[in-house]
Structure 1
Amino acid sequence: MACPIHGFRLSQYAVRQVVEKKPANPAEREWLQQARAGDASAFEQLMKPYRKLLHTHCYRMLGSPFDADDALQETLLAAWRGLGSFEARSSLGTWLNSIATRICLRMISRRSRRLTSGDLGAPLRSTAELGEPVQGPVWLEPMPDSELLYGGAANEDPAAILLRREYVGLAFVAMLQHLPGTQRAVLLLREVLGYSAAETADMLGITVASVNSALQRSRQTVRVKTPATGQSRQTQQVDAQGLELLLQSFVSAWERHDLTAMVNLLAEDVRFTMPPLPAWFSGRAFVGKFFAERVFETPWRLHPLRGNGQPGFACYLKQSGDDRFRPGGVVLLSVHDGHIAAIDSFLDPAVCRRFGMRDELH
């Protein structure tokens, strides 16, 4: 069964199965009893299998790994305080997801939604002025793959994991930010985590009719906001060997300042974004112009990384007069039909640190 989210496909219940359908841990009941008695170490053991699941859910809801950190900590604190009231009528994972979702909804009600470059203005045609950085908790931010849950068992069908990967992709998380909080929660609980309408209603404290209505409205918004190609379809169209060759060519062209080679790697409708700068470019001609007139003015070194289920690079640059390469940004790529369809560059030093970039390279 596939979720009817336009542009995105995922077998229903797949993510939930990762945690809730695995064989029960015989120690969980003992940890639960000890935690209820006030044993903090037992509580840590009890929460360990659920941390990444909850963190990923909070990230999807909030669009920022830093906000997701706060939501996760609030969730764990609420679970610790409320453990005595957990009656095991639902699974522990369901109870924790309910807490996390309600905390995220409170945070959403107090904060503006996270934005992408296209939300703030049209793409530029000139590289002369890129604008001043838009500061504050404004931008959609990437999440390192090491912090995300989208994999499964070692013997699981790789195609199933690939399908789940799109539900941590930048395109999907960005699309979610266009939904009101309740619609966002319902869409994720119903069609990503695989809960029934009745379970979702119970978790959110609303009626089944309200859940069904919110789901219908969220699907309508998704049909409007979803890009023509989903991340999973993009990556499926390049095999592992082809993708590796494409990435190697991308690094070589960038570091050698080879404009012809770089342009040949780009899709016709490629985009290049660079928050917190508001500037962005669309189309092979203008992205190529940006590389030629701005990016290639500086020496670079690129080191591979992964975020949001996508390939990318830690980009280090050497400014004039400096003898070291220093963090310039984190870049994540989208690939379609063997070409680079999007270059999403994040210049915030906090994002660079999140992805483990070193302070300097020789």
Structure 2
Amino acid sequence: MKRSSVVGDVGVGVEDGGRRDAQQGELADLLEAHRTELTGYCYRMLGSAFEAEDAVQETMVRAWRSHGRFEGRASLRSWLYRIATNVCLDLLKGSRRRARPMDLASPSSVETPVGTGLPEAAWIGPVPDGRVLADSGDPAETAVARESVRLAFIAALQRLAPRQRAVLILREVLSWSANEVAELLGSSVAAVNSALQRARATLAESGEAAEPEPAPPLDHEQKALLKRYVDAFERFDMDALTALLHEDSTLSMPPYELWLRGPEDIVKWMLGPGIGCRGSHLVPVVANGRPAFGQYRAGGEPWAIQVIETAGGRITGLNQFLDTERLFPLFGLPLRYDGR
């Protein structure tokens, strides 16, 4: 998916000869410098990479059109976050909460029919790290940011009322002060603190901490685990795969509600309904602060974006997203694997 430029989308600032006015070009550059962090914010708010990018583009267009009325009483960054928050809150009005399959039902069995699948708007979707994680230059900040786009954390955020969601993200993830958040929302500090307290309580009930812990970088052991996973999956060696799975590991496949828990059921699925995955090839990518792969089946057709979760030297989650027509371009992957 190609990102749109601010100037190109609103149709201003480009002269017939291809030259842009210097002042307009400078403004466009200033706005574009905030695109990645705004996309990360909107993704946490909305749970969809596609909706997040649409929300940021709308934010940029609104900012471009109203910049003449920007009085500079707040920083450009704060002003953009205010616009982005309003865009997200508008999008969330009356919308259904996005979730993961494990948020909707108990584990299925191999005999459970797959079903027809739910629409894209029902699911938390994956996102490439490069789209949402700006390079702050601070390894500690980067580690916290990676943890704050985990699929489970994004799903937990969707349990919150939209304004509570905004408060928690701004306060706990982005480290804004209560005064700054109150000004952004046109609210009081007391109301912001109350919303934050309620948001923390809701996340605690879901088992998620309101303030993400720093995500450690991949160490030698984790890299070796992933290498063994790729080898086992591509050889379709179920004994080797079983040895890598945690006893409570899960397999999910949005847009289908069906999900499985435990190595035994996962392997039964692979050898039954999932037998078409035999002979697949995995191309490494990075999604939601975690290692991921683009999965191509033996014939070269794209099948899934796999987001891999690990803990304690084992794989705890195989999250397979099957909307390949949109997801593979998002991750910069071709829609046909030619062996290279």
Q: Same fold (TM over 0.5)?
A: yes
2:166 maps to amino acid:
A
Equivalent residues of 2:173, 2:212 under 8 A apart: no
2:294–2:333 Cα contact (<8 Å) kept: yes
Aligned equivalent of 1:146: 130
Is the Cα–Cα contact under 8 Å of residues 171 and 231 in structure 1 kept in the other structure?
no
1:203–1:38 distance in 2 versus 1, CA, 3 Å:
farther
Kindly report the root-mean-square deviation, in angstroms, between the aligned alpha carbons of the 2 structures.
Answer: 2.1
Does 1:245 find its partner at 2:224? yes
Q: Which runs of 5+ in 1 are unaligned?
A: 1-36, 319-323
Which secondary structure state, in structure 2, belongs to the residue aligned with residue 226 of structure 1? coil
Equivalent residue number for residue 7 of structure 2: none
Secondary structure of the residue that 2:93 maps to in structure 1?
A: helix
2:38 matches 1:54: yes
Q: Cα deviations across residues 12-63 of structure 1 (Å, max 9, x unaligned)?
A: xxxxxxxxxxxxxxxxxxxxxxxxx994322211112211111111111000
What are the equivalent positions in structure 2 for 1:71-110 lying under 5 Å apart? Answer: 71-110=55-94
The aligned counterpart of 1:257 is: 236
Q: Match for residue 294 of structure 2? A: 314
- Tell me: CA distance 1:41–1:71, structure 2 relative to 1, closer, same or farther (3 Å): same
3-state DSSP of counterpart to 2:294: strand
Corresponding residue of 1:171: 152
**Percent identity at matched positions?**
37
The CA deviation at 1:128 is 5.4
Instruction: State the alpha-carbon separation in 1 of the partners of residues 199 and 231 from structure 2.
Output: 42
**Residue identity opposite 2:300 in structure 1:** F
1:97-122 C-alpha deviation (Å, 9 max, x unpaired): 11101110111114212121023222
Check the 8 A contact 2:234/2:281 in 1, yes or no: yes
Measure, in 1, the Cα distance between the counterparts of 2:236 and 2:291.
21
Q: What residue in structure 2 maps to residue 69 of structure 1?
A: 53
Residue among 179, 196, 203 paired with 1:215: 196
State whether structure 2 residue 336 is matched by structure 1 residue 360: yes
Post-superposition CA distance 1:290-328 (Å, at most 9, x none)? 22323344321111110111101000013xxxxx31100
Deviation at 1:239, TM superposition (A): 4.9
Deviation readout 1:268-302 (Å, 9 max, x if unpaired): 11111100011110122222222232334432111
Which amino acid is 1:357 matched to? L
Q: 1:181 offset after TM fit, Å?
A: 0.2
Preserved CA contact (<8 Å) 2:133 2:145: no
Output the CA distance in 2 between the equivalents of 1:80 and 1:304.
37
Once residues 180 and 76 of structure 1 are traced to their aligned partners in structure 2, the CA distance between those partners, rounded to angstroms, is 25
What is aligned with 1:351? 327
Alignment correspondent of 1:20: none
Of stretches 125-134 and 85-94 in structure 1, the one that deviates more from structure 2 is: 125-134
Matches within 5 A, 1:258-337: 258-297=237-276, 298-318=278-298, 324-337=299-312
Counterpart of 1:162 (choices 143, 151, 166) is 143
Quick one: which amino acid aligns to residue 241 of structure 1?
A: H
Specify whether residues 175 and 150 from structure 1 end up closer, same or farther in structure 2 by C-alpha distance, changes over 3 A only.
farther
2:242–2:267 CA contact under 8 A, matched in 1 = yes
Please, which runs of 5 or more residues in structure 2 have no aligned partner?
A: 1-20
**Could you tell me whether the CA contact under 8 Å between 2:144 and 2:212 is conserved in 1?**
no
CA distance in 2, matches of 1:359, 1:121: 32
Question: 1:210-240: per-residue Cα shift (whole Å, max 9, x none)?
Answer: 1111101000001011359x9867x64x852
2:110 aligns with: 126
| 1:164 Cα deviation after fit | 2.7
The amino acid that maps onto 1:345 is: Q
* CA 1:94–1:231: 2 relative to 1, 3 Å: closer
The TM-score, its normalising length taken from structure 1, stands at 0.82
Counterpart Cα distance in 1 of 2:182 and 2:84: 15
Kindly state the Cα deviation for residue 159 of structure 1 after the two structures are TM-superposed.
4.5
